[in-house]
Structure 1
Amino acid sequence: MSSAVPSSVPVEPNAPDLSLVICTLNEGAAIRAVIEEICDTLEGISHEIIVVDDDSKDNTADEVRAVAATRPNVRLHVRVGERGLSSAAMKGWDIAHGRFLGVMDGDGQHDPAAIRELAQLILKGDKDLVCVSRYIGKTETGLSGIRDLGSKAFTWVTGLVLKVPLSDPMSGCFMMTRDYYLSARPKLTGLGFKILLDIASSSKTKPRFGEIKASLRQRQGGESKLDLRVVIDLVAVLIEKATGGLLPARFVMFVGVGLSGVVVYSAVLILAHMFFRDGSYLPLYRFQFRTDDVVSYSVAIWLSMTWNFFLNNILTFRDKRLQGWGLLRGLLGFYVACSVGALISLALALFMKEELKVHWLPAGILAAVLSSVWNFWGAMLLSWRTPKAK
């Protein structure tokens, strides 16, 4: 779940009707044209454009500043050390001034004519949520064959599990009232790229919604952000919403990474028992344990911990991904956070094997699983802790 809800920016009497957020990451080739086109298309509608950029390494920020110099309704907010479209959209809405809030991509795939139609629909005041849908009638989606099939499959699963009353809950272009956003804000995960799914399944309010059909245009710049990590994010969010928040999305991903770590742990353990055999015993407290068992379990724990850290940095905490010296500090913090769990795992594995006569492999696996909850909270605290807002 996302962090605490910030104080909402008050809507002033002279505030724009619509705040449209554009989330960017290395969209320098397209963003200027996208902003100019959408501003021209929304002429006559009081609006502001908020570009939330995830510290792009190209000229995205410079292009936005150049447009803002001649268009006072354009704002830029650069996030450092954060990633992800969903959390970027939330940041934009949190600082927005408009009575109505919207989002679109920065690569030019969303049709400005459809966005104007959305704006006119939401401004009538009889809808809480309006969305662009690729699946009304026989409209071409604008996606390639495999992406189109995958999107339709996830749309079907989403409707089956969450009963979201939208034909295209994967849509990345929609608008809503500020009140509807605030009703969903406390339960938003902020993970991944499918923010509409997150919002529609987080609010207790059943929205009055409308849809318009439109396909995606050719991308004007940048590249697709859709990859395996996005799919994993989506599955984790679906699990959180389907369980009513009992299993938070981030914890689901952490456990998934942990399961892959169990595979690494088991493989190392098997290899160690195949190639490292020592008949000597090591006295620990009141017990005598085989030296090769102590070494095998210890190495397996260390290597699986290292594997889990790097995979979590890529998947579970991709929005807070550590780099440079921060990566090293995070790794050391992860070791510290998981050290207690590792000691618990080692002690349980040895005790089950020697005292309870459990086979060495299931003893090690069960011990590793039992320490996963401790490891999750320790990692959140010491490795990927979200800094407090100033």
Structure 2
Amino acid sequence: MEAVREEARFPREQGANSLGLLPVPSGSYKIPALEVHSSNTPNEEIAESSSIYLSLILPTYKERINVIGMVAILTTLLDEALPGAYEIIVVDDDSPDQTWEVALRLMTHYPALRVMRRTGIRGLASAVLRGWQAARGEVLGVIDADMQQSPEVLLQLLEKLHFGADLAVASRHIEGGGVSNWNLFRRGLSRGSQLLGLLVLPEIVGQVSDPMSGYFLVRRQAIANRRLRPCGSKILLEVLSEGDVQQIEEVGYVFHEREERQEIVLKKNIEFIKHLLRLRLRVSRLRRIWRRRKSFPTTRFMQFGVVGLTGVLLNTLLLSTFQGQLGLGVLASSLIAAELVIVGEFTWNDVWTFGDIARQQRQWNQLVKRFMKFNIVCVMGLMLRAIILALLSGGLSFNIYAANMLAISVLLLWNFWISLKLSWRVTELSQRCGEDPPKIAA
């Protein structure tokens, strides 16, 4: 490592460009498919590219120091897991601290390293796609170079691909995942953006627990020749919406966030929301979603509906008891009854409707988290019902009973869908998570 650091401090006059930069692709952001060549081809370069299994992109901007350690760690891991069958591509947006030049000099120590320098344009998502366009691997990946994402998780993501996944995502929001030092503002903003995503694009955002993750691997064939449109600093949404991704797996990891100003955090979430709206407006994408739609979880929905109907009857009984027999006021009676019904509905849903998922998450803290999320979803649902009822009966002059039935129907769908995607995640957890990642032959 000391030798690497010493090399990185060489004066610029020695000429880093002599090692060669990757040319920056131009035009659209389509990822080319791997060409199949005969085994007796005399072209050594083609033969070499066909042996690359993983192409990992490190998008950088002002990461002069971090890129040294990151490349060293990743190389150590991948030399053991994929000896001679991987490449690391640093894509730098012409950093003023000469990150690209430092990376170029590292190439003398790390043969698998390649470097691309973009000028006149910035953007993490577009940098990743340009890197993938120049990549030679069957599997394409991305990880930040700022040491916030644990490089060791990469081996678990590779394992998921080895066992058949098309997309393996490092997630902060499943078992084993988390954030190190987010404040309440950051947590609320992240969860709010995800909730909005579930409302705007449930069929896309609902496929993963962490749609804003910037750490994942995807098979090239799943996104090859697809028209991708980078937006802001996140690319996973684009892969999910435009790619032919059939099997998705997730691995939990702890995100070590470095301090960022609130306006930067807000900007990233606004970019995420803008991307959601752009995807929602793509007519061709909506048609493709319809053709590829997954079957609706009818059994779970019916069970959820039965629990909800029981809750309505229980609410009526409790309200009558508290107000009529115990003499409590209307407001107090309704609030107590509503909360008791929420507790009852959560218990039955946790045991019956989503029991198979809950049994995989038996710890007390997980139970409390599920309950708190369900509670919030139900309270928001009641507010949504009141708004719909007011609009239909007041603004549109609907019959009050018809408006109430429609509002209840919307409330049922809301509570079920958000509970399914937020309170009780249906992400499948691999039973092989505890095994050592296999060495994948080149």
CA shift digits 1:273-327 (9 cap, x unpaired): xxxxxxxxxxxxxxxxxxxxxxxxxxxxxxxxxxxxxxxxxxxxxxxxxxxxxxx
| Equivalent runs, 1:177-256 vs 2, <5 Å | 177-182=219-224, 185-186=226-227, 188-203=228-243, 205-217=244-256, 219=258, 226-244=264-282
Sort the Cα spacing of 1:6 and 1:200 in 2 relative to 1 into closer, same or farther, 3 A: closer
**What's the CA shift string for 1:112-137, capped at 9, x where partnerless?**
1111111222133x111000000003
CA distance in 2, matches of 1:225, 1:59: 26
User: Secondary structure of the equivalent of 2:175?
Assistant: coil
**Aligned CA distance change for structure 1 residues 43 and 6 (closer, same or farther; 3 Å):** closer
Residues 142-167 of structure 1: CA distance to partner in whole angstroms, max 9, x if unpaired? Answer: 35122222222212222332222100
Q: Answer yes or no: is the 8 Å Cα contact 1:169–1:197 preserved in 2.
A: yes
Decide whether the 8 Å contact of 1:9 with 1:94 is kept in 2: no
Indicate whether 1:82 and 2:95 are aligned. Answer: no
Normalising by structure 1, report the TM-score.
Answer: 0.57
**1:3 and 2:28 correspond:** yes
Alignment of 1:1-390 (within 5 A): 3=28, 5=30, 7-8=32-33, 10=35, 12-14=46-48, 15-44=51-80, 45=82, 46-124=85-163, 126-137=164-175, 139-145=177-183, 146-162=185-201, 163-164=203-204, 165-182=207-224, 185-186=226-227, 188-203=228-243, 205-217=244-256, 219=258, 226-244=264-282
Number of residue-to-residue matches in the alignment: 241
Between the aligned partners of 2:98 and 2:264, the Cα distance in structure 1 is 22
Give the root-mean-square deviation of aligned CA atoms.
Answer: 2.6
- Cα distance change of structure 1 residues 223 and 108 upon mapping to structure 2, 3 Å threshold: farther
Indicate how the Cα distance of structure 1 residues 224 and 38 shifts in structure 2: closer, same or farther if over 3 A, else same: farther
Structure 1: how far apart are the matches of 2:75 and 2:31?
28
Q: Which runs of 5+ in 1 are unaligned?
A: 248-390
Decide whether aligned partners of structure 1 residues 64 and 51 sit closer, same or farther in structure 2, where only a CA change above 3 A counts. same
Q: Report the TM-score when normalising by structure 2.
A: 0.51
Give structure 2 stretches of 5+ with no counterpart.
1-26, 37-45, 286-442
Contact 1:202 1:241 in 2 (8 A): no
Residue in 2 that maps onto 1:381: none
Q: What is the letter of the counterpart of residue 23 of structure 1?
A: P
Aligned partners of 2:79 and 2:262: how far apart in 1?
29
- Write out per-residue CA displacement over residues 331-379 of structure 1, whole angstroms, 9 at most, x where no aligned residue: xxxxxxxxxxxxxxxxxxxxxxxxxxxxxxxxxxxxxxxxxxxxxxxxx
Task: Provide closer, same or farther for how the CA distance between residues 234 and 246 of structure 1 changes in structure 2, counting only shifts above 3 A.
Answer: farther
Shift of residue 217 of structure 1? 2.6
Q: Secondary structure at the match of 2:282?
A: coil
Q: Is the Cα contact below 8 Å between 1:89 and 1:103 reproduced in 2?
A: yes
1:9·1:96 contact (CA, 8 Å) conserved in 2?
Answer: no
Structure having greater relative contact order (Cα 8 Å, sep ≥ 6): 2
Shift of the 88–224 alpha-carbon distance from structure 1 to 2, 3 Å rule, reads farther
